[in-house]
Amino acid sequence: MSIEKRVEQHEVIQETRVGRTLNGFIPWAIVALGLGLGSNPCNLAWGAERVNAEKHQVQAHTHTHPETDVLRLQGFKTIDEREKLSLKTGKYASEDIRAPGDLTNANADNPLIKHYFFDKKQVKIPAVSKACDAVFTFETSNEIDKTGGTGVIISDDGLVVTAEHCLVLHNGPNDVKKLSINHLGKSIPLANAEVIFRPAEGYVKGVDIAILRVPELAGKPHVSLSDADVEKQEGKTVFSIGYPYQHPNLDGKTMYVSAGNVKKGSNDRSVRSDAEARIGNSGGPLVDVNGLLLGINTTNSMSGFTDTLTAEPSKVIKEILVGRRLWPLDLPRLK
């Protein structure tokens, strides 16, 4: 089937589904109010989103259910096939992936917001907003290759953590000595990077964690590590912070926060959540409602989408720091 035919068929299906959904507008609006969204116009947007749930499913989120009838009716055999067309033409991209309202303590647990990204100005949870101040994006490169991701500052003297795979240069020398950093809109073109820890066996067989010291980030806001038992966090609200891209409405240059819950199966070696993520979230922090670092996001999907966001727990980071006599982090350092 040609691309033009697929697009035409998609539009017919979409119009039909939207028509059906609009017939149920009033009942769903009542349900939205019942969820405690309040009378704030921004919060009412979540009720409108539920009204358009089927349309939303067609446009963006069938990636969580690859074998749905919607995907087959669109004429695609695989998610990757559809996403390639989406990235090329924007036809199947979710235009509302960026949240229409604010993220607050009142709506953080609302399932309607789990597939949205909030920019920092929309985050009205003080501890989470404060955690955002410790997050940065970076690139590293050699003569023939470059890579990058998100990172987070964890100490006053410039210790930072990211995912190891964000530092891997597949071509040429793989020594990280300089980072091009953007922190809160300020560029640091050639920041020094002292490697504190990178797994010798690589992130595939080892932990996907890298710890660096960046003097240029000393004295900047930082997050504290959580002491929580991960296995007892199932169902708790968490927030992923990063610089996602691989979507027509995400440029990789803007910090976004997504909300979710810790999923069953999390343990002291892996935090699993359903917070929304894209390529670019790797290396960023997963924090709790108090802004404490639960883990470092490591999941990286080639298609840009993931059903479960996986993070290396803060316990792993702490074990590494203890082994290098860098814990507790607030102890004076020998020069």
The tens digit of pLDDT for each residue in 168-216 reads 888 878 788 899 999 999 999 989 999 999 987 666 667 899 999 999 9
Report the distance separating Cα 163 and Cα 150, nearest Å: 8
Residue 43 in this model has a pLDDT that exceeds 60: no
Integer angstrom CA distances of residue 143 from 149, 165, 197:
19, 19, 24
- Pick left, alpha or beta for residue 92 (phi over 0 → left; psi -120 to 50 → alpha; otherwise beta): alpha
pLDDT confidence of residue 77: 65
The tens digit of pLDDT for each residue in 229-266 reads 998 999 999 999 999 987 777 888 999 999 999 998 88
pLDDT confidence of residue 315: 92
Average pLDDT for 298-325: 77
Mean pLDDT of the chain: 76
Half-sphere exposure of 128 (CA within 13 A, CB side): 28
Instruction: Set out the domains of the chain in order of their start, with CATH numbers.
Output: 3-96 (no CATH), 106-330 (2.40.10.120)
Amino acid letter, residue 15: E
- Lowest-confidence segment of 121-135, 200-214, 265-279, 320-334 by average pLDDT: 320-334
Which pair of structure tokens corresponds to residue 40? 């704030």
Average pLDDT for 2-6: 39
Which residue do the tokens 């539920």 mark? 50
At residue 99 the predicted structure's pLDDT band, cuts being 50, 70 and 90, is confident
pLDDT confidence of residue 97: 82
**Could you tell me whether strands 309-313 and 271-273 are parallel, antiparallel, or unpaired per DSSP bridges?**
antiparallel
Q: What is the pTM of this model?
A: 0.72
Spell out the alpha helix ranges (H) of the chain: 3-23, 25-34, 41-51, 53-59, 69-73, 79-89, 126-132, 202-205, 314-323
At residue 331 the predicted structure's pLDDT band, cuts being 50, 70 and 90, is low
